[in-house]
Chain A
Amino acid sequence: MFASCADPETLSGLSWLICYLTTGKHIAFYWAFGTVLLLLAVTAPVALAFGFGGAMAARSRVAPLSWLGKGYIAIVRGVPDIAFFLFFVIALDQGIEWLRHKAKCPDWDQPIRQGNDFIVCAEAKMPLSSSAQWVHEVYGFWLAVFTFALVFGAFAANVLYGAMRAVPRAQTETAEAYGMSRAQVFRRVIVPQMWVYALPGLSNLWMVLIKASPLLFLLGVEDIVYWARELGSTKTPQFTAYPHGDWRMWYFLFLLVFYLGFTRISEIVLDRIMQRLTHGQATLGSHKRTGPIGMNKAGPP
């Protein structure tokens, strides 16, 4: 990157370190932090939308819809999230290819599952094998976003479901007395009021989401964990101008510190938001968040 880095062999000490930390691969490593932040920024609202849908389904008076919503919440929460990540990445990929296969190659007569293979016609491949590298990366990223949103949507659904039920009954009763329909009550009374009950749970969820973001690595995205392993491993002079021993420990220490800072900042910001929103309200959130047991994280009482 710098002109002085042209010949690493002559460098030593700090200048070596500066040159080492600005190699092309390290720049990719720094960009990967952007990927993680982007994932979080995109996933959070999508998961919230999924959660809202799930909570609405779980509240529904139509029994099958309510079962669907509750089943979604229970299953995703009862199974380790990492299993979901590993499952959905393949399942979604195959599902999309299968749909495209049905649409694009109707006269394909062979079975799709042949023994241990999953075979679709070339036009149905997603992304097309001829497309550029970045298309593959973007596609992988969106699969990851969708998977994260699906899993964390269930957690959010659980929080929102609780929050909707925490809105005081007197409020909805009053609304009904004014002649509002069920939908109107939901839209005009429950939804505006539920957020304050949902916020402790949602902020906890944000923390959990941050801490789940390194699992991107398992979804095949070249994220910070991938680069930390890659850059930290022992480098011999044959393959690189900057040979070094096994530094993976230091790279992961760096990631650890990054996450500690990130969660700490989030915590402070969320505390501020909570104080702002509950200003003057007699809810648990308006006191110090480490109030009675569990309440700081548990959502509505």
Chain B
Amino acid sequence: MSCYETLMDYGLRSLGYGERLLPRSDFTLCQQFVLIGSGLIWNIYFGVVALLTGFVLATALAVGKASASPWFRKPAEWVIFIFRGSPLFIQFFFAYFLFLSLKGQVPAFDALTSAWLGAAVVLFLNTAAYSGEIFYGALCSVPRGEVEAADAYGLSGWAKFRRVVWPTTLRLAWPAYTNEAIFLFHATTLVFFSGFPASRQKGDALYYASYFADKTFNPFVPYPILAGYFVLLTLVVIGVMGLIGRRLNRHLPNAAPARSKGFGMLMR
């Protein structure tokens, strides 16, 4: 079987298209590359969905935590504490079994017990909490002068936040937020090892990598392939976040792009 045929058969296997049975013997390098790459679709899906939705909640959490009113501050602090203080792995397990028992009572929760929604919800809350803390730190270090200048221009309330505080917060938070994004993509590999079932063997990159390692009893091929894919993914994330960061800082002299220190500083 040529590599092209393998690609046709297994390229979208993780989404349920193509060949139904996974390869069982005579594993070729091509099969491993294609299937693990196919699984990467799920990692990208989870990462992108959680990052985009989490960004909105993270902003809300940061503003809530910085708020003077305990009605906003306390809930934000608790969400951040709960999701940052406990392991994602346990959160996945707990959420899955919670969704299972919810489903037992209200069938409408059925979708939550499958990975595409349930795990995405957990990742969304988790990354929102981590990014919320990052944004909160940035919000607290917005230069006083900028806020005073906004006041002097007669900006207040929403307009001040939208035009002055928020953009500066993002600018300050961006390098740390890039790291959060990288670790979020890494965290997506936990999904199929923590309760959420991979129905009909539709799994993520790590799921297929461990499938091959189990079948061939040779970890030295699938895991390096997986590592290669993830290094590429990390580089893409750094690139995209770097572009956004450059746009955020475009008004600054010699627009020093807020260089995310790739494998640097902050981590989960």
Contacts and interface: CB of A to CB of B under 8 A. Distances in A.
Interface of A: 73-75, 77-83, 86-87, 90-91, 94, 113, 116-118, 155, 158, 204, 208, 210-215, 217-218, 225, 228-229, 232, 246, 248-249, 252-253, 255-256, 259-260, 263-264, 290-294, 296-299
A186 B211 CA distance: 47
Contacts of A87: 213, 219, 223
Contacts of B175: 294
- The residue in A118, A253, A263, A294 that gathers the most chain B C-beta atoms within 10 A of its C-beta is A294
Contact of B25 (A75, A116, A158, A214): A116
Interface residues of B, number: 53
A208 B189 contact: no
B140 interface: yes
Contacts of A263: 85-86
Given A82-B189, A293-B137, 12 more contacts: A79-B227, A82-B206, A83-B223, A86-B206, A91-B219, A214-B87, A253-B94, A256-B86, A290-B140, A293-B138, A293-B172, A293-B176
A87 to B, nearest CB: 4
B265 interface: yes
A117 B217 contact: yes
Contacts of A214: 87, 89-90
A117 B186 CA distance: 30
A141 to B, nearest CB: 19
B166 interface: no
Contact of A83 (B27, B98, B226): B226
Contacts of B134: 293-294
Interface of B: 25, 27, 81-82, 85-91, 93-94, 97-98, 100-101, 134, 137-138, 140-141, 172-173, 175-176, 186-187, 189-190, 193, 206, 209-210, 213, 215-220, 223, 226-227, 230-231, 234, 263-268
Given A78-B234, A294-B175, A299 B265 contact: yes
Contacts of A117: 217
Contacts of A255: 90, 93-94
A249 B223 contact: no
A298 to B, nearest CB: 4
A90 B217 contact: yes
Given A256-B91, A263-B85, A293-B134, A298 B227 contact: no
B94 A252 contact: yes
B8 to A, nearest CB: 25
Contacts of B223: 83, 86-87
A73 B175 CA distance: 19
Contact of B101 (A77, A82, A249): A249
A80 B189 contact: yes
A155 B267 contact: yes
A218 B264 CA distance: 27
Nearest to B140: A290
Contacts of B87: 210-214, 259
B93 A86 contact: no
Contacts of B82: 256, 260
- The residue in B85, B186, B218 that gathers the most chain A C-beta atoms within 10 A of its C-beta is B85
Contacts of A78: 227, 230-231, 234, 263
17 contacts: A74-B263, A80-B230, A83-B226, A83-B230, A86-B209, A90-B219, A94-B219, A116-B217, A116-B218, A158-B263, A214-B90, A246-B100, A256-B82, A256-B86, A256-B90, A290-B140, A297-B265
Nearest to B135: A293
- The residue in A74, A256, A290 that gathers the most chain B C-beta atoms within 10 A of its C-beta is A256
B263 A77 contact: yes
A259 B175 CA distance: 28
Nearest to A259: B86
A77 B227 CA distance: 11
The 4 closest A-B pairs by CB, nearest first: A80-B186, A249-B97, A252-B94, A87-B223
Nearest to B101: A249
A293 B190 CA distance: 28
Nearest to A232: B97
A80 B226 CA distance: 9
Contact of B193 (A82, A204, A228, A259): A82
Contacts of B27: 116
A73 B264 CA distance: 10
Nearest to B206: A83
A39 to B, nearest CB: 13
A83 B101 CA distance: 30
Given A248-B97, A260-B82, A297-B266, A211 B88 contact: yes
A225 B265 contact: no
Contacts of A74: 263
A255 B98 CA distance: 14
B190 A82 contact: yes
A264 B86 CA distance: 10
Given A78-B234, A249-B98, A297-B266, A86 B210 contact: yes
B213 A90 contact: yes
- The residue in B27, B81, B94, B215 that gathers the most chain A C-beta atoms within 10 A of its C-beta is B94
